[in-house]
Amino acid sequence: MQNVGMYTVNQHEITRWVNLLEEKGAARLRALSHLGRIGIQARGYRSLRRGSLCTPAHSFLTPANLAQILEALSDPAPVVRREMAFVLGELGGETAISTLSRLAADPNADVRLIAVDALAKIGGLQAVQALSQAAHDDNELVRARAVHALGRLGRGEEGPEVEPIRETLTRIREGDASAYVRDAAREALVALEGEEVIEVPTRVPEPL
Amino acid sequence: MILSDKLRILRLISEQPFEEQEAEVLRRLCQEGGLYTERLIERLGLSQIVLLLSQWHARFRKSLSPVPPRGRGLKPRPTVLCAFTSVLDRVVDQAGLSRLLPWAAGVMGLSPDEFLSRAARRARSGRNAQGGSLSAIVHDLLDVVAAILYFFRRPPALKPTIGNLTLRHQLEAFLAELPPGQLRQVLGGASAVAAEILAELGVEARFYTMYHSPAQARRHGPLARRLELEPGQIAYRPAQRSGTYRAAGLTFDHPTASSIAFVYQAGFTLGNVQADQADGVIFRRAPQNKNEERPWDQIWLHPIRGQAVTLSAPDAEDEWLWLPGFVHWWVEGSILHLAFADEETVRRIAAEHHYLILSGLSPATFAPGEGLAARELAAQMCSLAESGAILHLELGGAASEETIAPLAEAIGGLVPSAGINDNELALLTSLSDFRVPVSPHRSAVFQRYQRAVALAQRLGLQRLYVHGNDVDLILRQNGSPEAMRREIEADLFAKGVVVLAILQRSLEDWPSHAIQLAPVLLWKGFQALIAFTWDLVDQRGQDEALFKELVETGYALADSPEGYAVAVVPVMWPTLPPGIYPGGAGDICSSVSLVYTGF
């Protein structure tokens, strides 16, 4: 059993499913999904305990585990690469950032979106760099998720690391082609300034 | 400006952090999602659920954009008439409901334990003091408590009628003893509330109801208008102005249509019976005038053609008769005269509106026993339909002894659109002359879909909106992809504005509550969406590629020229603060979404 902060994961269980990744097709996907479940259980749900701007989340994977998982990186099925990105987000921690950065540029938009989500969970400056690139993705949903993640990671933070994020978000707020992404950037900037996102209108509207 | 404030609050709700919501839904689906979810994970991985959640969440947020849907190409400023329901709901909160049991036991001279035991027996049988259905009518205080217990375990609650004067007086006495804060009076009735919401959204919204008392008028805003029927003419008055009538040379206020609603949260208990979900049981009563007396003792109904007939007056001397339909009424001598508006008047009403949204109708409305009134209403439906306006019915349920045939005969081919609650749909499709076969091995939501298709076909509908607690199902005959996307967008938007309306009518400082509303993602909604989609894919002999497309877009086109496209929209509904009364929310969402679909 490995304890990382408040979490406990069954390392034998991880290794058992990692070993099954040598299979192809549906069996490999199944093994990845089981690893994902372990991550979900380990993280709990009330408190996500994700990484922050400068401190990436811990990894639950041994170097051997990680190496075996990365073999799925070249899998031709997008669904497998996507599932791998999800697993790395749940279990991989800082050791998975470089792989996830590659997946955030995958030809398949679904893979990119899950990779962006995974980077957002892990955090750290290297992840922020990849998220900043993803904030210019072709896909509107991927951009919006990346923008939102940048705002969340930068929330309440101070220091020189925040300025590039602010610049990126400002550019997107002013110039993105999608109103939805521009709105996401506006929200992210508000979060970045550490302001309360929610403001109650001062005047109470008339009854409906 | 007022509207933009409201839309801004909607936007703020949608901006609530969503990571935890999505994580919670994912966790629950992993643990409790059942076979359908396991099949999804097996074929498409856990990450498919994350994709699904992110896509639907984005869709929800887009639908709450500060730009209202009509600004995105839908019909500008449509005119809408909502009829026939308006009511003053007197809402008793949980603390008040806790007082009911000992109070009622005392009135009946029983110990609370004995009272509860008897009420629980009736609740188990589903039968009232006279052997009828507790869902339909209550005759004494034991029935009242039994009905509440019954609906604790069988949500959603229906609306039993208060069956006699004695019981009504007992309940009024109970309300009078409640301390301040445990009883709240709010505007109810789908027609009145929907008109209020639509008016504020910039729609030219009117409503019609037979009676409009000062108590009802006070709860309206400044924008909606009320249609008033005068002999040979129609007029639109501010909804804030109450209705009056003349009798014996004097002017009187209209009577008040009201109800008593007991609301509770999931887990609330009476005795040892626990409520499965947050809900409210509404007890209906006839309209009543303020002074507990009425200046008439006979009712004459004047048909459009032929001689007037006498109707029996309500037993209680302060109660008035309410009829669905466009009815002009006046008091002359000791007679209440009721006259259904003639063809020309009804056509004029219809011609002045793009949409006519009619509530308060069910198979019982057109039952053979309703006689002349039912025939007159049916004739009005024909006249309305011929005018070119779009007719939409909010359908109610039916008692098991009723039949579908009179309703189908009255509206078949006339009404293109309807809305119904999923529970009421189940009742309608289990009637003796309309037992819809469903696939026993399919999911509950797919069986609901099968019932919905059967009902739409039986009534000749082009569109049917089935609102539920997990998903809303929307059928559109030959609906195009664009039409189905608009249906989904309008449904999500309607949910948002109706949540605000519900908060607003219940809380003085509602904006501060509104902006704390989260989460909106309900795992059961996504579970139902997944189950439905697998069943549809299996039924059509398709593969998981189609599954992925359907579950992400939320709609499937018809598979035959005469078939129905279907949209499945997970209900995104926040946890409301305790004691908030969501009565009528489904019907109101149905009305609002219709207008915003551009149907």
Which residues share a beta bridge with B391? B356
Q: Give the one of B2, B55, B515 whose C-beta lies nearest to A206's C-beta.
A: B2
Question: Is the pLDDT reported for residue B387 higher than 60?
Answer: yes
Is the separation of the CB atoms in B392 and B415 below 8 Å? yes
Minimal-distance CA residue of chain B relative to A145:
B54
- Better-predicted residue by pLDDT, B373 or B84: B84
Is the separation of the CB atoms in B161 and B134 below 8 Å? no
- Do residue A205 and residue B2 have CB atoms under 8 angstroms apart? yes
* Two tokens, residue B76: 């500008």
In three-state secondary structure terms, B161 is strand
- Do residue B42 and residue A117 have CB atoms under 8 angstroms apart? no
Calculate how close chain A gets to B329, using CA atoms only, in Å: 29
Minimal-distance CA residue of chain A relative to B200:
A208
Direct distance between the N- and C-terminal alpha carbons of chain B, in angstroms, rounded to an integer = 27
- Mean pLDDT score, B342-358: 94
> Cis omega before residue A60 (within 30°)?
no
CA–CA gap between residue A106 and residue A86 (Å, rounded): 14
Q: How many CB pairs under 8 A join A and B?
A: 115
CA–CA gap between residue A32 and residue A86 (Å, rounded): 9
Calculate how close chain A gets to B136, using CA atoms only, in Å: 31
Q: Which long-range contacts (CB under 8 A, 24 or more apart) does B139-142 make?
A: B139/B163, B139/B164, B139/B167, B140/B108, B140/B166, B140/B167, B141/B104, B141/B107, B141/B108, B141/B167, B141/B170, B142/B104, B142/B108, B142/B115, B142/B118
> Cis omega before residue B156 (within 30°)?
yes
> What pLDDT is stored for residue B179 in this prediction?
92
> What pLDDT is stored for residue B509 in this prediction?
76
**In chain B, which residues have their Cβ closer than 8 Å to the Cβ of A208?**
6, 193, 196-197, 200, 221, 500-501, 504-505
Q: In this predicted model, what pLDDT tens digit does every residue of B113-130 receive, in sequence order?
A: 999 999 999 999 999 999
Question: Is the pLDDT reported for residue B514 higher than 80?
Answer: no
Interface confidence, given as ipTM, is 0.90
Lowest mean pLDDT among B75-79, B86-90, B179-183, B494-498: B75-79
- Do residue B45 and residue A197 have CB atoms under 8 angstroms apart? no
CA B109 from chain center: how many Å? 37
- Do residue A201 and residue B197 have CB atoms under 8 angstroms apart? no
pLDDT above 90 as % of chain A: 62
Question: Is the pLDDT reported for residue A105 higher than 80?
Answer: yes
Question: Is the pLDDT reported for residue B553 higher than 90?
Answer: yes
- Mean pLDDT score, B423-430: 92
For residue B492, give the nearest of B504, B481, B503, B484 by alpha carbon.
B484
Q: In this predicted model, what pLDDT tens digit does every residue of B95-108 receive, in sequence order?
A: 999 999 999 999 99
CA–CA gap between residue B524 and residue B109 (Å, rounded): 44
- Do residue B222 and residue A206 have CB atoms under 8 angstroms apart? yes
pLDDT band at B315 (very low <50, low <70, confident <90, very high): confident
How many CA atoms does the CB half-sphere of B116 hold within 13 Å? 14
Is the separation of the CB atoms in B143 and B129 below 8 Å? yes
Q: Give the one of A29, A80, A204 whose C-beta lies nearest to B511's C-beta.
A: A204
Which residues share a beta bridge with B310? B300
> Cis omega before residue B519 (within 30°)?
yes
- Do residue A198 and residue B200 have CB atoms under 8 angstroms apart? no
- Better-predicted residue by pLDDT, B507 or B111: B111
Q: In this predicted model, what pLDDT tens digit does every residue of B355-383 receive, in sequence order?
A: 999 998 888 888 876 788 889 999 999 99
**In chain A, which residues have their Cβ closer than 8 Å to the Cβ of B201?**
none
pLDDT band at A192 (very low <50, low <70, confident <90, very high): confident
**In chain B, which residues have their Cβ closer than 8 Å to the Cβ of A198?**
12, 15-16, 515-516
- Do residue A208 and residue B501 have CB atoms under 8 angstroms apart? yes
Is the separation of the CB atoms in B350 and B181 below 8 Å? no
- Mean pLDDT score, B423-444: 94
Minimal-distance CA residue of chain A relative to B223:
A208
> What pLDDT is stored for residue A47 in this prediction?
44
CATH 1.25.50.10, applies to B89-185+257-284: no
Q: Supply the DSSP string of B450-480, one letter for each residue.
A: HHHHHHHHHHT-SEEEEE-SSEEEEEEET--
> What pLDDT is stored for residue B1 in this prediction?
35
> What pLDDT is stored for residue B313 in this prediction?
85
Which residues share a beta bridge with B234? B229
> What pLDDT is stored for residue B181 in this prediction?
85
- Mean pLDDT score, A122-145: 96
**Residues in CB range of B137: below 8 A, 6 or more apart:** B128, B160, B161, B162, B163
For residue A183, give the nearest of B8, B20, B486 by alpha carbon.
B8
> What pLDDT is stored for residue B155 in this prediction?
77
- Mean pLDDT score, B548-553: 92
- Do residue A198 and residue B515 have CB atoms under 8 angstroms apart? yes
Question: Is the pLDDT reported for residue A148 higher than 60?
Answer: yes
pLDDT band at B70 (very low <50, low <70, confident <90, very high): low
Minimal-distance CA residue of chain A relative to B497:
A208
Is the separation of the CB atoms in B11 and B66 below 8 Å? yes
* Two tokens, residue B61: 């947020």
- Better-predicted residue by pLDDT, B65 or B496: B496
> What pLDDT is stored for residue B68 in this prediction?
53
**Residues in CB range of A68: below 8 A, 6 or more apart:** A18, A19, A21, A22
pLDDT band at B80 (very low <50, low <70, confident <90, very high): very high
- Do residue B45 and residue A48 have CB atoms under 8 angstroms apart? no
* Mean of pLDDT over chain B: 89
In three-state secondary structure terms, B356 is strand
Of the residues B46, B53, B197, B551, the best mutation for testing chain A's interface (the one with the most A CB atoms within 10 Å of its CB) is: B46
**In chain A, which residues have their Cβ closer than 8 Å to the Cβ of B45?**
29, 32-33, 36, 79-80, 82-83, 86
- What domains sit in chain A, N to C, each tagged with a CATH number? 1-52+60-124 (1.25.10.10), 135-196 (no CATH)
Q: Give the one of A117, A200, A208 whose C-beta lies nearest to B515's C-beta.
A: A200
Domain extents in chain B:
2-74+469-597, 89-185+257-284
> What pLDDT is stored for residue A158 in this prediction?
84
> What pLDDT is stored for residue A202 in this prediction?
42
In three-state secondary structure terms, B430 is strand
Whole-model pTM: value is: 0.91
**In chain A, which residues have their Cβ closer than 8 Å to the Cβ of B58?**
141, 144, 180
How many CA atoms does the CB half-sphere of B133 hold within 13 Å? 12
Q: Give the one of B16, B20, B221 whose C-beta lies nearest to A48's C-beta.
A: B20
